[in-house]
Structure 1
Amino acid sequence: MAKYTRAEVLQEARGLAEKMANIEEIDRFKQLEAKLNENNKIQSSIKKIKALQKQAVNFQAYGKQEALKRVEEEIDRLQQEIDEIPVVQEFKDSQVVINDLLQLVTNTIAREITNEVIRSTDGDLLSGETGSKRKNSSHSC
């Protein structure tokens, strides 16, 4: 079995990241993000929300509950307005797809590392035990 350095593994990870950055789902995400950034209505609403969030922090700090409630309701209204724009929903869906893909890759790598450790120690893949664990459990007194 070949041995690899940490640097070699990180280089492979960078290569995988480069490949992933150039798949169809990422291209779609970039296109949708550009559309969001070009949409004046969305950008205007985002700026309003940010300003209102600052107000909300101040109202909360000074215990102005009524004013805080009004600002939070306006933030919710603006957020809902943004969410109803089709490109925003497409963008959010795209984020979910990419996050699912990243999770799949992460889980696959973790599972394959575990399986390789089990195989390399003559363990049992079905039980998930390494060879050293199986040997120790058979020698118990």
Structure 2
Amino acid sequence: MEKKYSRDEIIAKAREIALMIANTEQVEFYKRAEEQINENQKVRENIASLKSLQKQAVNFQQYGKEKALSIIEGKIEKIQTEIDAVPIVQEFKDSQGEVNDLLQLVSNTISNGVTDEIIKSTDGNVLRGETGSYVKNTTYEKL
């Protein structure tokens, strides 16, 4: 008989996986890139300006000031382009994407693994994604 796991055991294992992910090269690079961005005076100033302009944009949008909103959106786009032009910012965004991809991969692997194990344990059809109870209670039309 297979071992049954408690919720606490599963959470403990999830914390272990979280620690493993936090100690990957991708996360280390992400942290170094963020630190370099925070040390870059020009980028910090641009980010502060961007946040201020975004708040203004929300206000203009809320009060229906379309012309002012359009001008602010142009300024936001210009500053965003300046920020994105800094190489470390692009590297930071790339590393952020890699970390997100890794998290998504782990999540999908767990989800698919659970589904497959349920199907297998009920003598279902993994290729069709059908549990054993579905297979037993469904008649297929013969060709």
Normalization by structure 2: what TM-score?
0.90
Counting aligned pairs with the same residue, the percent is: 52
Number of residue-to-residue matches in the alignment = 138
Which runs of no fewer than 5 residues in structure 1 stay unpaired?
A: none
Alignment match, 1:65: 66
Rounded to whole Å, the distance in 1 between the matches of 2:98 and 2:125 is 34
Secondary structure class of the residue paired with 1:137: coil
Alignment match, 1:93: 94
Residues 50-129 of structure 1: pairs in structure 2 closer than 5 A: 50-129=51-130
Rounded to whole Å, the distance in 1 between the matches of 2:60 and 2:91 is 34
Query: What's the RMSD between the two structures over aligned residues?
Result: 1.3
Rounded to whole Å, the distance in 1 between the matches of 2:69 and 2:135 is 61
Runs of 4+ with deviation above 4 angstroms:
none
One-letter identity of the residue aligned with 2:114: I
Deviations 1:78-130 (A, max 9, x none): 00000011001101111111111111111111110011101111222222221
Which runs of no fewer than 5 residues in structure 2 stay unpaired?
A: none
How far residue 71 of structure 1 moved from its aligned partner, in angstroms, is 1.4
How far residue 57 of structure 1 moved from its aligned partner, in angstroms, is 2.3
Rounded to whole Å, the distance in 2 between the matches of 1:127 and 1:52 is 52
Normalization by structure 1: what TM-score?
0.91
How far residue 58 of structure 1 moved from its aligned partner, in angstroms, is 2.5
Rounded to whole Å, the distance in 2 between the matches of 1:107 and 1:12 is 16
Secondary structure class of the residue paired with 1:96: helix
Rounded to whole Å, the distance in 1 between the matches of 2:67 and 2:90 is 32
Compare 56-65 and 93-102 and name the one that shifted more. 56-65
Rounded to whole Å, the distance in 2 between the matches of 1:57 and 1:137 is 54
